[in-house]
Amino acid sequence: MSDPEAASAIVVENLVKSYAGVTAVNNISFNVAKGEILGFLGPNGAGKSTTMRVLTGFLPATSGNVEICGTSVAAETGAVKRLIGYMPENNPLPEDMRVVEYLYYRGRLKEMGRKQLGPRIDELLELCDLKRVRHRIIGKLSKGFRQRIGIAEAILAEPPVIIMDEPTIGLDPHQILIVRDLIARLRGRMTVIISSHILPEIEMTCDRVLIINQGRVVAAGEPAALKRELLGRARYQLELAGESADLAAVLAAVDPTLEITTESTPDADGFRTFDLSVDHESDCSEQLLIAITRQGNLRLRALSRAQPTLEDVFLAATRRSWDVVDRKPNERNSAAKYPSA
């Protein structure tokens, strides 16, 4: 059998990080496979930045073990820093340097050879759409350019692992698109962890997500699997005129687990919006459409299957974890244990 840790670029085991009086990261464990893009999500104060700082060797862990490509962060912090390209939140850049100058300077600090640096910087200016600002002073550039300079710097020496804290924060939709494409191009070549509050962004970019709250992992998996695990029931919406009892009878005939969750008051034409939920994932839109049309007394104007988003998953996972936190300690002991990824 293959060893899952051998295929992991990042291994985090029972990581704890406490500041004076605050446990920011409370015993989290997860692996990130080589070439995988992992989205790291959590509400404000969940412990995302702290975890990233420990992973990159900028902060020592209180306890636990972190390995990057088989190298222990605690034992070989210097070596680990060379394995990671890190773009911290609000990435600080030297205001008075020119773009090329800065990348060259950072490359030399990363011990890259002069001959190797020139072509690599040209490649990155192209990849990160920075060619037209290559000789501009960084302090005079917009946020979008500055974020891309941060990404260029993180991937400059082609480290196997890239960690980005809120890479699209403060960017406009066009700039977000550029950064998203840029990250997608790293898939398979580098292992990437991205922390973000922008959930559609994460959903589009990441292979897997890890949601933390109050320093603990509260959900982990592929977005589609998490939707099934956390949201369970599929949802539909109808715009329909007719008696609720007639609709209820049709629903029972289509699927005994189909139920009306909310219904609106009728509009001027007598149509109401009904929200439905059903206990399984398989699509029953067509059966619903046929059964309602055949019923005779019901007039259907619209039928749609709700597509749950990562935001729904995030809210369900964090709400579930708050429920556990709110329970009395003796109840908490018997609560379901959450996956540690």
Ligand X SMILES: Nc1ncnc2c1ncn2[C@@H]1O[C@H](COP(=O)(O)OP(=O)(O)OP(=O)(O)O)[C@@H](O)[C@H]1O
DSSP 264-306: ----TTS-EEEEEEESSSS--HHHHHHHHHHHSS-EEEEEEE-
Residue 91 interacts with ligand X (CB under 6 A)? no
Residue among 22, 75, 249, 253 that touches ligand X (CB under 6 A): 22
Work out how close the CB of 140 gets to ligand X at its nearest, in angstroms, rounded to a whole number: 27
Work out how close the CB of 255 gets to ligand X at its nearest, in angstroms, rounded to a whole number: 41
Residue 45 interacts with ligand X (CB under 6 A)? yes
- CB neighbours of 303 closer than 8 A, spacing ≥ 6? 236, 237, 238, 239, 285, 288, 289, 292
Which is nearer to ligand X, 58 or 338 (by Cβ)?
Answer: 58
Residue 199 interacts with ligand X (CB under 6 A)? no
Give, in order, the Cα–Cα distances in Å from 238 to each of 7, 119, 274, 287.
47, 58, 5, 13
Q: Is the Cβ–Cβ distance between 87 and 165 less than 8 Å? A: yes
Q: Give the chain's length.
A: 341
Residue among 1, 2, 6, 44 that touches ligand X (CB under 6 A): 44
Q: Is the Cβ–Cβ distance between 327 and 236 less than 8 Å? A: no
For the segment 46-75, give every residue that binds ligand X (CB under 6 A): 46-50
Residue among 11, 28, 42, 102 that touches ligand X (CB under 6 A): 42
Work out how close the CB of 117 gets to ligand X at its nearest, in angstroms, rounded to a whole number: 33
- C-alpha span between 228 and 130 (Å, rounded): 41
Of 16-24, 96-104, 269-277, 324-332: span binding ligand X (CB under 6 A): 16-24
Give Cα 197 to chain centroid, integer Å. 8
Work out how close the CB of 118 gets to ligand X at its nearest, in angstroms, rounded to a whole number: 37
Which is nearer to ligand X, 50 or 168 (by Cβ)?
Answer: 50
Which is nearer to ligand X, 250 or 321 (by Cβ)?
Answer: 321
Residues in contact with ligand X by the rule CB under 6 A? 19, 22, 24, 42, 44-50
